[in-house]
Structure 1
Amino acid sequence: MLASQRQERILAEVRDQGAVRIADLTRELEVSDMTVRRDLMELADQGLVRKVHGGAVSPHTTAHEPGFAAKSGREAGEKRVIAEAAARLIAPSSSIALSAGTTTHLLAAQIVASPDLRPLTVVTNSLPVAETLYRANDPRLEVILTGGSRTPSDALVGPLAEAALVGLRVDQTFLGAHGVDPDVGLTTPNLDEAATNRALIHCAGRTVVLADHTKWHTTGLRVFATFADVDVLVTDSGLPTDARTRVDDLVEQLVVA
């Protein structure tokens, strides 16, 4: 395969996933580690990617928000183990909030599959999360769905959603994020969703962020929290060692699923 063909494939994956790992590229492209590093350096010199430890990310802040179905197929295995680990942080007879997102949706499925977590009260602004929880048909599982305007990721956002959260107090909020950056914070492409996510944080005693490794060094259009707002980050084993060290210094607890 020519260098130009390899680089085009790398760019296509960065555009689709937001990030690539050198280890994955060497396997997919069947080339050496040094060849991939050379390709990434050339792409970075052209401003087409931004090199990070162990791989590369998109150089641009993104304002595009993929739909819920499109995001559901990405890193499905990583999201599943993150959801399983997050479920272990929930105590029965407590109250929690779940933001919109594909990983929080999987957490909702874990809650349904774990009757020992009930009784439980769940506040959510996610239509898929609410639908999954309602299907449990268990009176010990109380679901409170905010109102609001629907986004491409099936979140309910805006003034109605924020008003529904004012005055509520839950033990923990579990949040997804489009991007996680140690310097920038937690971001989303949707301006209204950022405000609703902030409201979800403000109503919680503890904030737990669920983010797979591809979210690291990805940046959306609007910041909705900094690491000072985060108590726990739950991620997967794909997060590089240096990133784990950085997170350990920023949050109270890092959980690697």
Structure 2
Amino acid sequence: MASDNGSGGVLARQRQAVILEEARRSGAVRVSELVARLGVSDMTIRRDLDVLASQGLVEKVYGGATANLGKSTDEPGFEAKSEQQQAQKEAIAALAAGLVRPGTAIGISAGTTTWTFARALDSVPGLTIVTNSVRVADVLREAGQPERTVVLTGGVRTPSDALVGGVAVASLRRLHLDQVFLGVHGMADGPGFTTPNLDESETNRALVEAGRRFVVLADHTKWGVVGISTIADLEEADVVVTDDGLPAAARETLAEHVGELMVADVNEAEES
């Protein structure tokens, strides 16, 4: 039996990211093959699969697991998504907040990662923030910063609490922002940054076009996921902020295509 040479901390997250990437690439993984590849025990791999299954990312079967890719139009609600990868989202938000300068105008899309990012902006004064997210607008309003301006677009509400459609698009096309921070459903080489909602894709595209700098906030589980509609190609992103669970191969691919890849250290963020 292989020895367990790293079942906790960062190594566990990195191992689970490798398992998930392989499951999505080939459709299924076998415990015996993962033991040989990763050099850990059978029980460690089974625990990793339990974690991934509890997050709805794989489905356990006899001897291994299959990828749970869902449909390209599947759109989980805000509450369901907010329970997933919380530590990763906090680390990404803290790192991305360092990109925001006082007194600038920024756009923030809907999503649980961008909602977490909005909560990390309390120390940045004088911002004008445009968002199509009711949840993000609520967080910013509750922060109680009188010098901050928050603009909420109109539109039709989606399961992820985004305001989308013609009204939102028309509002965004009249704006000029310093930076746009976008959360995505998935990112992959080829399809780019995607969403399962066609109307949200159009609205997010308008938000991206309103900004001089385009920043994507996406945890490692978004890699290899493909929604029905592309928001932007990988090459269009000036910055991608992700977490250290992203496998090396995915990091190399993103680094080749995006302007800058920033990787948040989840352990460091949890300790600070």
Q: Please, what TM-score do these two structures have when normalized by structure 2?
A: 0.75
Give per-residue Cα distances to partners, 1:94-139, cap 9 Å, x unaligned: 1100000001001110112x1xx11111000000000000012212
- Quick one: distance in 2 between partners of 1:107 and 1:89? 11
Match of 1:83 in 2: 93
- Quick one: distance in 1 between partners of 2:43 and 2:158? 37
SS at match of 1:234: strand
Matched, 1:221 2:228: yes
Deviation at 1:141, TM superposition (A): 1.0
Match of 1:94 in 2: 104
Change over 3 Å in CA distance of 1:242–1:164 after alignment to 2: same
Match of 1:104 in 2: 114
- Quick one: distance in 2 between partners of 1:91 and 1:30? 42
The within-5 A match list for 1:144-155 is 144-155=151-162
Change over 3 Å in CA distance of 1:141–1:27 after alignment to 2: farther
Match of 1:3 in 2: none
Change over 3 Å in CA distance of 1:147–1:31 after alignment to 2: closer
Change over 3 Å in CA distance of 1:30–1:204 after alignment to 2: closer
- Of 234, 244, 247 in structure 1, the residue corresponding to residue 254 of structure 2 is 247
Match of 2:11 in 1: none
- Quick one: distance in 2 between partners of 1:160 and 1:198? 14
Match of 1:7 in 2: none
Q: CA RMSD for the aligned pairs?
A: 2.9
- Aligned AA (2:91): V
- Aligned AA (1:107): F
Match of 2:44 in 1: 27
- Quick one: distance in 2 between partners of 1:252 and 1:62? 27
Match of 2:269 in 1: none
Q: Please, what TM-score do these two structures have when normalized by structure 1?
A: 0.79
Matched, 1:172 2:189: no
Structure 2: segments with no counterpart, 5+ residues? 1-15, 50-59, 265-272
SS at match of 1:111: coil
Match of 1:64 in 2: 74
- Quick one: distance in 2 between partners of 1:221 and 1:72? 22
Matched, 1:200 2:207: yes
Give per-residue Cα distances to partners, 1:151-197, cap 9 Å, x unaligned: 00000000010011112000000000000002110111111000000
The alignment of Structure 1 onto Structure 2 pairs a total of residues equal to 222
- Quick one: distance in 2 between partners of 1:97 and 1:77? 23
- Aligned AA (2:46): L
The within-5 A match list for 1:19-58 is 27=44, 29-30=46-47, 49=67, 58=69
Structure 1: segments with no counterpart, 5+ residues? 1-9, 33-38, 50-56
Deviation at 1:228, TM superposition (A): 2.2
- Quick one: distance in 2 between partners of 1:31 and 1:82? 23
- Quick one: distance in 1 between partners of 2:183 and 2:203? 12
- Quick one: distance in 2 between partners of 1:215 and 1:125? 21
- Quick one: distance in 2 between partners of 1:31 and 1:84? 27
Change over 3 Å in CA distance of 1:242–1:118 after alignment to 2: same
Q: Report percent identity of matched pairs.
A: 45
- Structure 1 moving runs of 4+ over 4 Å: 18-26
Change over 3 Å in CA distance of 1:31–1:108 after alignment to 2: closer
Deviation at 1:252, TM superposition (A): 1.1
- Aligned AA (1:130): A
- Quick one: distance in 1 between partners of 2:231 and 2:112? 18
Match of 1:232 in 2: 239
